[in-house]
A and B are shown apart, each in its own frame.
Chain A
């Protein structure tokens, strides 16, 4: 019969083996855990970079819903749908669309095509304008695009447009301002200091919360962030009228225009004029802005002359 000492030794050896194994495995599990935390997005883990393709499809599907199914396929002329209309209508995304959006199908090619068009959506409508019923009281049906936008944001958290569009429709047509703010803050978590997201967040504070000071701070932060995007490049260079910097010019103009309106509302005409003048640098129609600036200057001159005339 074996002595108890042998068993104790065996037990001790087993304990040492277990400890050694645990010490060996622990760092490996730690590394695995870190990888998991780095990609906590389920879709990214599953699909990798291809999730962006699906995200784009989901974004386009949202636009198809915005048109109640009347949407070009790869076989149709989609020149008028390069920028999704639901994004274009937010005023925060630059449009690259050309051509006629109402007749991308063209005339019927033959009798089969002509008959077939009676069984598919065949008229250009927007959900926020009532959709197929043209009933403006049902504009809140634009909510139907939200599932696709949510999916798109999940698939590609770095796509700024998705957050901007989602937040815009949430706050304007569905009156869900806290949810819109939350969407933008989610976007900012994934894309820190993005000027477009900050611009939209500023709009929430300005238009919905009527918080002028906070809106001004956010938009000014957006402008600083815009300047930081291309550190070595001067502002005049970035605002040159080229196709490459179209989006950059657009967001700069929007920020300056909104800041100018904010200053006008806050009763700071001097600051407003300065902002309008900045906006003219990026605007495709600077003449119209210049007219507004002249008008503001006249009003300002009238205000400064009036007390002087009264004292005489």
Chain B
């Protein structure tokens, strides 16, 4: 486990050396502050449109950081020819996969803490309340969901040739799930067989990441906390998909030539 954590530490260090996070974080702050300065009928208590914009930017930024950081992990090791020396140490391929995954996931967790802290401050500046539990639920489900995305991207980085193609494909899949994943079954009903069965199969097979994405609306419009049972259920659901993608990544990596 120590080796896995050591590998994860390297990935976290890489994140704070790179400029991706800083650029996205500052961009989010600048856009939100500019939008907050707009005068709307001399009313300075209007906040929900800023909250919505801020959360949307947080989601976009977190997905960009998660996918791009993960997509380049193993290809970069291969390009720089550091993968073989890494595996020459007492380190299994499974440990490499888990180390990379854990590093990316923890790095995304740190990123989310910064983003949600800013979001909390921004919302409190006008609402004068701290619904911390609501923010915790939203941020935690967001982080767990990112785990599934990172595992998927890690699997993609072993299947696809280049990080760019992997990133693009992962983005398309994730955005499609977030936007139309919830309605695939309704869409399937309007189709004739065999397309109906195909879409139904896709609907039940894909990870429903939009559950966590839907929390955005609850936070923006000050809905009460979601039931803790369903909170835990969503965590287990996301972790299950994360595990499936990680196992698949380990299996692919085991058979992959590293030289």
Contact = CB atoms under 8 A, between A and B. Distances in A.
A116 B182 contact: yes
Contacts of B227: 118
Interface stretch (A1-9, A30-38, A142-150, A262-270): A142-150
Interface in A102-149: 109-110, 112-113, 115-116, 118-121, 131-133, 143-144, 146-148
Nearest to B185: A109
Given A75-B186, A110-B185, A143 B43 contact: yes
Most chain A CB atoms below 10 A, which of B203, B212, B215, B217 = B217
B221 A132 contact: yes
Contacts, number: 88
A253 to B, nearest CB: 30
B222 interface: yes
A179 B42 contact: yes
Interface in B180-198: 182-183, 185-187
- Chain B facing A: main interface SS: helix
A261 B158 CA distance: 76
Nearest to A182: B41
Contacts of B38: 147
Interface in A40-83: 65, 68-69, 73, 75
A65 B222 CA distance: 11
A174 B43 CA distance: 9
B220 A143 contact: no
A173 to B, nearest CB: 11
Contacts of A115: 211, 230, 233-234
Nearest to A69: B217
Contact of B208 (A73, A112, A174): A112
Contact of B221 (A68, A73, A143): A68
Contact of B42 (A73, A110, A176): A176
Interface residues of A, number: 29
A119 B233 contact: no
Contacts of A65: 48-49, 221
B49 A119 contact: no
A170 interface: yes
A65 B214 CA distance: 15
Interface in B218-249: 218, 220-224, 226-227, 230, 233-234
27 contacts: A65-B48, A65-B49, A65-B221, A68-B223, A69-B221, A112-B204, A113-B185, A115-B211, A116-B210, A118-B226, A118-B230, A119-B141, A119-B215, A119-B230, A119-B234, A120-B214, A121-B218, A131-B221, A131-B222, A143-B43, A143-B46, A144-B46, A146-B40, A146-B43, A146-B46, A147-B46, A148-B49
Interface of A: 65, 68-69, 73, 75, 109-110, 112-113, 115-116, 118-121, 131-133, 143-144, 146-148, 150, 170, 174, 176, 179, 183
Interface of B: 38, 40-43, 45-49, 141, 182-183, 185-187, 203-204, 208, 210-212, 214-215, 217-218, 220-224, 226-227, 230, 233-234
